[in-house]
Each structure stands twice: as C-alpha cells, then as structure tokens.
C-alpha cells in the first residue's frame, strides 16, 4: 500500500481521526474503570478509618461531615461511635506543604484530641524517602512516634524546628508537611467542636479540653 502523502488535507484528517479514536477509547475505559476506582477508594477509606479509630460500631461514612480549615483546606470528619457513644473521630486531613504536592492523611483523635493512630492516604513524596512517613511516625523508636500524644500538650514539630518529633531521615520537608496535616486536623476539630452538636452531644468533657 502506498504511503499517504503529506498534504495539508491528509495531515489534518489523519490527526483528526487518531485523536477522535483515542478520545473515544479513553472515554470508554474511563466508564469501565470508574466503578472499580471508586470502590477501591471507598474500601481504602473504610480500612483507614478502622485502623485509626478501632472499635466503632456505627458506620462513620454515613455520619461524615466536612469542615474547612483556617487555611481553606477541606477536611472530612468521620465520627466513630461505640453503642452511641463517641469514642473518637477519624479526620481526613491534608496539607499543601509537601515536597511535591498535597499530602492527605487520615488521623484518628480521641474526643479530647489525643492522637490514636494515623494512615497516610495520598502523597507524591519522593519514593524511599518521604514515602516512609507511612510507618515512621508510628514506630516507637527515639522520638519518632506521635501516637498517644496530644497536639496541645506536646510540641508536635520536627526537632529541627524546636519540636519533639524526630523527622524522617533525609525527608525533613515531608515530615514537616505530615505534622502540619496533623496540626490542621487537630486545630480545625477543636475549633469547631462547639458548633457541631452531633459531636458535643455525645461527650460533654470536650469543652474542658480546649
């Protein structure tokens, strides 16, 4: 078969056909994978809530509400209740101070604000360095761990900034971003406690924790 000549008409037509076919097939693939992607994300969210606030009996996904932090970031809060009593809240928090892009973390706080556990949801940090944040701040070694600490009583910044948390080796910026996300979650949660009847109804000692 002879090769198509490089006339303007042929070139425009060829590119048009190729981009149309590409666009159509991508649209088709998008429809095909939309369900599984959403399901994978939901499963991840549910697993993350379970990990950061274990022992709830309600469905935190149903009682989810959103708050906006001082920085204008949208936070999702999942109240975890055991037999109607608030045992903690899982907060999907984020920061834009990451080494490359946003860092999303799910952090579990007790009603008084003590950190139960956390899980890193999304980030674009350097593989092998910033990615270590997934386990680093849970590991009970030196001053790495932030579990069981309280952002008001403990200075949760990296030791380089005068805080009491050891930063990830060679990933100080990622560590700062991570701790910033935790701080955003804590600040937004405590500031909005009084205006959230759903939360304050179930536990009354929260006003004292402020």
Q: Interface with another protein by CB under 8 A: which residues?
A: 1-7, 10-11, 14-15, 18-19, 22, 25-26, 29-30, 33, 36-37, 40-41, 44, 100, 122, 124, 127-129, 131, 169-170
User: Rounded to whole angstroms, what are the CA distances from 105 to 9, 16, 120, 158, 179?
Assistant: 52, 43, 4, 17, 10
Shortest reach from residue 3's CB to another protein, in Å: 6
Sheet holding 85-98, edge to edge: 65-68, 74-82, 85-98, 101-109, 115-122
Comparing CB distances to another protein, the nearer of 122 and 187 is: 122
Gyration radius (Cα) of the chain, Å: 23
Shortest reach from residue 21's CB to another protein, in Å: 8
Calpha distance 61→80 (Å, rounded)? 9
Shortest reach from residue 107's CB to another protein, in Å: 18
Comparing CB distances to another protein, the nearer of 131 and 154 is: 131
186: phi then psi, degrees, rounded to nearest 5: -65, -50
Comparing CB distances to another protein, the nearer of 128 and 208 is: 128
Comparing CB distances to another protein, the nearer of 29 and 74 is: 29
Bridge partners (DSSP) listed for residue 91: 77, 107
Shortest reach from residue 143's CB to another protein, in Å: 16
């Amino acid at each position: 078969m002879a090769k198509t000549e490089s006339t303007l008409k042929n070139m425009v037509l060829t590119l048009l056909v190729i981009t149309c076919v590409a666009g159509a097939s991508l649209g088709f693939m998008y429809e095909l994978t939309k369900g599984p992607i959403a399901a994978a994300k939901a499963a991840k969210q549910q697993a993350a809530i379970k990990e950061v606030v274990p022992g709830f009996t309600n469905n935190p996904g149903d009682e989810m509400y959103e708050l906006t932090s001082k920085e204008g970031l949208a936070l999702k809060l999942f109240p975890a209740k055991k037999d109607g009593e608030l045992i903690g809240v899982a907060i999907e928090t984020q920061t834009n101070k990451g080494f490359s892009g946003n860092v999303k973390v799910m952090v579990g706080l007790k009603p008084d604000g003590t950190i139960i556990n956390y899980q890193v949801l999304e980030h674009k940090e350097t593989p092998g360095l910033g990615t270590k944040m997934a386990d680093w701040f849970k590991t009970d070694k030196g001053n790495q761990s932030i579990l069981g600490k309280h952002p008001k009583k403990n200075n949760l910044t990296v030791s380089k900034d005068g805080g009491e948390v050891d930063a990830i080796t060679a990933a100080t910026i990622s560590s700062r971003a991570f701790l910033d996300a935790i701080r955003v979650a804590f600040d937004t949660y405590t500031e909005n406690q009084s205006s959230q009847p759903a939360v304050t109804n179930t536990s009354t000692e929260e006003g004292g924790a402020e």
